[in-house]
């Protein structure tokens, strides 16, 4: 049975806030990490970006931080500016949707420290940033680490490596001994594990369980095309198979708009689905798709998270995902509940290499086909027919 956020003992306002973002059910890492995190346990969490790990630690922080106090209560350390900004954005979105007056600030290096000091006067509850600059501000007594109850180390595999560990430890040392420490990491090697344990009282190790099997009812095909011809191949495939509805996957969320426009230009009935943040558009696209008004839903892996769509037979990969896990997730959108499904990937010569990898990883057959005279044919058919024609 899948746990709900209520089962995890999150409070009502957070659950309502998540709903507004289109988030209804916890991901695996959230289901495993939230209960011990709420009990103030120290946590080592293994999970990839994209698994919902940010909310796995943010939700317990939101529940535990007293936003009526003007005190810094949580520090989140992340290795890159981009990740810091993403985390900060998730905090602000959740605070708004859950209507909780939680204040956060992002603190990164290489930007004007005076402005950060100015912003810190507002006494944010959560500080997200790079360890170096945060340590500097603690030393300048602009951040009071004594009131911090939770420290999160995101991308622990990087922050606990030989280059960063010193500074990260220094930040941790400035806080009280009984604070909670959570380390999240895509992979936890022995070194990261032993360092984490050394820093923790008693660590609870949680993992996002990987679902590794591909559904045997799903068939996999691929078509080789030049990048610029991919849409045309997709158009032909749609014309040939006339699916009632299909999901078209691309890799980058930023390209959903342009891809949708291109499909529309080819007279295809397509609509883009965006990340959980753009809730109105998301709802509209989903309703259109479910009711049959929209034939093709254009999505990225991110945008498709948490989508519950039954009865999709066709999945098209207009880009091939770079991770086997993502191929698996996309394929998992079809053939649900014992039904059949078909995954069609339109790939460049280069991407075709990845096809081989997926065949090996999942021990499945992904057959190469081509589209000839409006129908799916065995590879080489076009050349064969041409040769015959030339002979005659
Ligand atoms: P992360 O792994 O934290 O980078 O999260 C990736 C994306 O998944 C973010 O855009 C989140 O908004 C979204 N997300 C997180 N948790 C869930 C959930 N339980 N259901 C659907 N989407 C989620």
Q: 3-class secondary structure for 287-327?
A: HHHHHCCCCEEEECCCCCCCCCCCCCCEEEECCCCCCHHHH
Q: Are residues 84 and 142 in the same domain?
A: yes
What sign has the CA pseudo-torsion 387, 388, 389, 392? positive
Query: Distance, CA 115 to ligand 1 centroid (Å)?
Result: 31
Number of domains in the chain: 2
In whole angstroms, give the CA distance from residue 153 to residue 46.
12
Judge whether 95 lies within some domain. yes
Judge whether 18 lies within some domain. yes
- Per residue of the chain (392 residues), give pLDDT as tens: 468 999 999 999 999 999 998 788 888 899 999 999 999 999 999 987 667 899 999 999 999 999 999 999 999 999 999 899 999 999 999 999 999 999 999 999 989 999 999 999 999 999 999 999 999 999 999 999 999 999 999 999 899 998 999 999 999 999 999 999 999 998 888 888 899 989 998 899 998 765 456 778 899 999 999 999 999 999 999 999 999 999 999 999 889 999 999 999 999 999 998 876 566 778 888 889 989 999 999 999 887 876 767 778 999 999 999 888 889 889 988 887 678 899 999 999 999 988 988 887 777 899 999 999 989 999 987 777 766 666 55
Give SS3 for 142: coil
Q: Whose CA is nearest to atom 5 of ligand 1?
A: 52
Q: Is the CB of 208 under 6 A from ligand 1?
A: no
Query: Distance, CA 281 to ligand 1 centroid (Å)?
Result: 17
What are phi and psi for residue 162, nearest 5 degrees? -60, -30
Q: Whose CA is nearest to atom 4 of ligand 1?
A: 50
Query: Distance, CA 55 to ligand 1 centroid (Å)?
Result: 7
Q: Whose CA is nearest to atom 12 of ligand 1?
A: 276
Query: Distance, CA 226 to ligand 1 centroid (Å)?
Result: 33
Q: Is the CB of 53 under 6 A from ligand 1?
A: yes
The domain that holds 248 is classified in CATH as 3.40.50.300
Beta-bridge partner residues of 271: 297
The reported pLDDT for the residue numbered 180 is 97
Judge whether 272 lies within some domain. yes
Q: Is the CB of 22 under 6 A from ligand 1?
A: no
Query: Distance, CA 325 to ligand 1 centroid (Å)?
Result: 15
Q: Is the CB of 3 under 6 A from ligand 1?
A: no
The reported pLDDT for the residue numbered 279 is 65
Give SS3 for 270: strand
The reported pLDDT for the residue numbered 390 is 60
3-state helix, strand, coil in the chain (%, to 5): 45, 20, 40
**Domain containing 82: what range?**
5-207
Q: Are residues 95 and 228 in the same domain?
A: no
Q: Are residues 226 and 152 in the same domain?
A: no
Among 155, 173, 207, identify where a domain stops. Answer: 207
Q: Which of 27, 186, 254 to mutate to test the pocket of ligand 1 (most atoms within 8 A of CB)?
A: 27
Judge whether 390 lies within some domain. no
Residue 30 Cα: closest atom of ligand 1: 19
Q: Whose CA is nearest to atom 8 of ligand 1?
A: 52
In whole angstroms, give the CA distance from residue 348 to residue 227.
6
Judge whether 388 lies within some domain. no
In whole angstroms, give the CA distance from residue 86 to residue 106.
10
274: left (phi over 0), alpha (psi -120 to 50) or beta: beta
The reported pLDDT for the residue numbered 297 is 95
Q: Are residues 300 and 365 in the same domain?
A: yes
Judge whether 386 lies within some domain. no
Q: Whose CA is nearest to atom 14 of ligand 1?
A: 52
Q: Is the CB of 26 under 6 A from ligand 1?
A: yes
What are phi and psi for residue 76, nearest 5 degrees? -120, 120
Q: Is the CB of 17 under 6 A from ligand 1?
A: no
Q: Are residues 170 and 278 in the same domain?
A: no
Among 160, 184, 207, identify where a domain stops. Answer: 207
Q: Are residues 316 and 191 in the same domain?
A: no
Q: Are residues 193 and 136 in the same domain?
A: yes
Contacts of 198 (CB under 8 A, 6+ apart): none
Q: Which of 4, 7, 23 to mutate to test the pocket of ligand 1 (most atoms within 8 A of CB)?
A: 23
The reported pLDDT for the residue numbered 358 is 85
40: left (phi over 0), alpha (psi -120 to 50) or beta: left
Q: Is the CB of 147 under 6 A from ligand 1?
A: no
The reported pLDDT for the residue numbered 1 is 44
Contact of 231 with 263, CB cutoff 8 Å: yes
Burial of 159: CB neighbours in 10 Å, binned 0-12, 13-18, 19+: buried
What are phi and psi for residue 232, nearest 5 degrees? -65, -40
In whole angstroms, give the CA distance from residue 226 to residue 250.
15
In whole angstroms, give the CA distance from residue 140 to residue 137.
5
Q: How far apart are the first and last CA of the chain?
A: 64
Q: Is the CB of 306 under 6 A from ligand 1?
A: yes
Q: Is the CB of 145 under 6 A from ligand 1?
A: no
Q: Is the CB of 260 under 6 A from ligand 1?
A: no
In whole angstroms, give the CA distance from residue 240 to residue 222.
15
Q: Are residues 30 and 171 in the same domain?
A: yes
Among 188, 207, 226, identify where a domain stops. Answer: 207
Beta-bridge partner residues of 77: 129, 153
Contact of 221 with 367, CB cutoff 8 Å: yes
Residue 22 Cα: closest atom of ligand 1: 21
In whole angstroms, give the CA distance from residue 171 to residue 191.
19
What are phi and psi for residue 56, nearest 5 degrees? -60, -35
Widest distance between CA atoms in the chain: 87
Contact of 345 with 333, CB cutoff 8 Å: no
Q: Is the CB of 51 under 6 A from ligand 1?
A: yes
Q: What is the pTM of this model?
A: 0.61
What are phi and psi for residue 316, nearest 5 degrees? -110, 135
Query: Among 330, 335, 339, which residue's Cα sits nearest to residue 307?
Result: 330
Contact of 351 with 226, CB cutoff 8 Å: no
Q: Whose CA is nearest to atom 21 of ligand 1?
A: 306
Q: Are residues 112 and 234 in the same domain?
A: no
């Amino acid at each position: 049975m899948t746990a709900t956020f209520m089962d995890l003992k999150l409070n009502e306002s957070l659950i309502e806030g998540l709903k507004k973002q289109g988030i209804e059910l916890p991901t695996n890492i959230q289901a495993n990490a939230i209960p011990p995190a709420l009990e103030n346990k120290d946590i080592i969490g293994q999970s990839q970006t994209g698994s919902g790990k940010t909310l796995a630690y943010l939700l317990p922080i939101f529940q535990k931080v007293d936003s009526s106090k003007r005190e810094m209560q949580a520090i989140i350390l992340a290795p890159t500016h981009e990740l810091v900004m993403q985390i900060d954005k998730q905090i602000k979105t959740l605070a708004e949707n859950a209507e909780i007056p939680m204040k956060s600030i992002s603190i990164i290096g290489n930007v004007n420290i005076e402005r950060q000091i100015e912003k810190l006067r507002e006494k944010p509850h959560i500080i997200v940033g790079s360890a170096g600059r945060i340590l500097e501000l603690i030393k300048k007594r602009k951040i009071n680490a004594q009131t911090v109850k939770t420290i999160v180390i995101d991308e622990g595999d990087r922050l606990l490596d030989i280059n960063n560990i010193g500074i990260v430890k220094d930040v941790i040392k400035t806080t009280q001994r009984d604070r909670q420490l959570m380390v999240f990491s895509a992979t936890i090697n022995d070194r990261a594990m032993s360092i984490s344990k050394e820093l923790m009282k008693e660590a609870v190790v949680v993992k996002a369980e990987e679902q590794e099997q591909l559904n045997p009812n799903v068939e996999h095909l691929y078509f080789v095309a030049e990048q610029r011809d991919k849409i045309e191949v997709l158009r032909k495939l749609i014309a040939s198979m006339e699916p009632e509805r299909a999901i078209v996957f691309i890799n980058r969320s930023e390209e959903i708009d342009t891809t949708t426009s291109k499909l529309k230009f080819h007279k295809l009935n397509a609509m883009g689905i965006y990340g959980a943040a753009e809730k109105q558009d998301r709802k509209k696209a989903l309703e259109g798709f479910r009711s049959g008004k929209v034939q093709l839903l254009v999505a990225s892996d991110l945008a498709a998270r948490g989508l519950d769509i039954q009865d999709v037979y066709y999945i098209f990969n207009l880009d091939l995902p770079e991770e086997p896990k993502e191929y698996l997730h996309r394929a998992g959108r079809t053939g649900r509940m014992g039904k059949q499904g078909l995954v069609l990937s339109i790939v460049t010569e280069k991407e075709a290499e990845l096809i081989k990898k997926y065949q090996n990883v999942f021990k499945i057959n992904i057959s190469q086909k081509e589209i000839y005279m409006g129908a799916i044919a065995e590879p080489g058919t076009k050349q064969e027919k041409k040769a015959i024609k030339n002979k005659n």
